[in-house]
Amino acid sequence: MTTISKELKELEEIPSIPRPTLYAMIKGANRRDQELMASFTVMANRCSEGLAVKPSDVHKEVSIDILKLEINELAARLGRTRTEVDVGASLGRDVGAAKKELGVLYDEYLRMTDLEEAFHKGDTMLETVDKIIKLYPQTLVYVVTIQTLKRKKQVSRPVPIPVIDPLAPLFVSALSNNMGETFFELTRQRVWQLFKKAGIYAFYKDQGYPVPKNPLRHLRLTEVSNFFNRTQLYRYAGWKLKGTQDKYIHNKWDDFVEPLIKVARRAPPLGFDRV
């Protein structure tokens, strides 16, 4: 059985750690271990890949896809509020508050659409990126370049981490606190010891399931598989695509952002003040 089919079989047959259970494990750990578990989860990496990541492999990006999602949601709110004003007025109700809200929403809609338009203009893009991140921090994405070590030749894949994911602040904390060549100066064996200490292995053994070799990667791939199509999942996981697709379909971080935003919005809040 190939590595890909083994991992797919795990995703299909072995339960993943629920986010609240993972949060409880993180809460009981020290700061560094909290950062490690959160980072390994959102990076969706194998242990070897995670320990090879350097701070220099991480860069900030603004996701215009997230801004578009926000614009679409705002447009929907505008439509509902406009209907509320029209219906209320036709029934003789006081719609002063609704009209005021409609004006505020419309002003915000114009500002967001103006920024989206400016983003696509070469001479204003850099200035606009700073404005977007300042006004709408949820559009900030950290992109990690991970070397897919299981492939015969090391293949880089970009893994975006939206800041609105509840685990993202711990990842950012690890990034800002790290002064070494890599994120975590540990061995795979030590990482496995930390996982065992946190209760990650016990979660599977208590239910009679085999422990995935990379349990936090397993968690992440399970939750994103509900939103990715098959090609996106293969590319995100670093699995080899069949046939010639590998040669012609290239990894782009922004291809993954919209599904990951859906995952982040579905995830429960972290629920403790250690970030």
Quote the DSSP letter at residue 151. S
Q: 17: phi > 0 → left, psi -120 to 50 → alpha, else beta; which?
A: beta
- This prediction's pTM: 0.86
pLDDT at 89: 95
In the chain, where are the structural domains located? 3-58+165-266
Q: How far apart are CA 158 and CA 256, in angstroms?
A: 9
Quote the DSSP letter at residue 250. -
Average pLDDT, the chain: 90
Q: Is residue 239 within 8 Å of 4, Cβ to Cβ?
A: yes
- Give the least confident one: 66-70, 104-108, 118-122, 169-173: 118-122
Q: With bands split at pLDDT 50, 70 and 90, how would you rate the model's confidence at 249?
A: low
Q: What is the average pLDDT across 53-78? A: 93
Q: With bands split at pLDDT 50, 70 and 90, how would you rate the model's confidence at 160?
A: very high
Burial status of residue 123 (CB atoms within 10 A of its CB: 0-12, 13-18, 19 or more):
exposed
Domain 3-58+165-266 part of CATH 1.10.443: yes
